[in-house]
Structure 1
Amino acid sequence: MKTPWPNLLLFLAVTVCVFLTGTSAFSCYACKNGDACDDVTEQMKTDCTSPLGAINTCIKAKVSGNVIRSCGVPGTNLNKCAFDSGVAVCMCESDLCNGTPPRVSPSLHASLAASLGVFILQRLV
């Protein structure tokens, strides 16, 4: 009979890693069109952490061809975009999510690694 310990230990290790990657400060890209805002750069990263804890959303807006990226508070269109009268506003709630192209979350990477690890362990045991 197979012992469940290797799988349990792997699950616990991955769970701890997932939660540790999510504890850093919340960041977004911030720029105005005058800053060449179409493509994001390392210099545009900004810490959005607020003493009140209300800022946990990134915003990307396009008004008459001008792009604006910033931190913000959650709105009604969270994790989607709204279009009205030539204005597009997109809101999202993960680190640096208002960049281009969309980024894959570290939690997804950890989940995929854990799944692969469990698969390999099951083949070895």
Structure 2
Amino acid sequence: MSDCEDHGFVADCRLRAATDLFAHTWDPVVLTALRKGPRRRRELRAAIGGISDKVLTEALRRLLANGLIDRRAHAEAPPRVEYHLTPLGQSLIDGPMAALGRWTIEHGDELLDAQERAARTATAN
């Protein structure tokens, strides 16, 4: 946490910038869908399921702006565009997202139980 302390303002630290990567529900899902290699938009939508074209477009723009994915246009008729992970995106998949996945497998039931208890308590009050 020294990065946050060094800057003087916790809101300006790199940790906040990194955790913002998970603030949008679909961004980690899109990254995971690109884990096995480049995909076209329609392939992404089919692999993900339940994502609208608008939401996919927004997620792709954010991921491109953060340097986590890249867009490759092929000079063909009709034009073909593919999205793929950058080395930075791959490092996020292999590091923090893999660790979060392991944590979820180990503690997911506890998390869901706590959320259900909280929901029941809120409903009862």
TM-score normalized by the length of structure 1: 0.23
Q: Which has more helix, going by share of residues?
A: 2
Higher relative contact order at CA 8 Å, sep ≥6: structure 1 or structure 2?
Answer: 1
Structure with max Cα Rg: 1
TM-score normalized by the length of structure 2: 0.23
Q: Which has more strand, going by share of residues?
A: 1
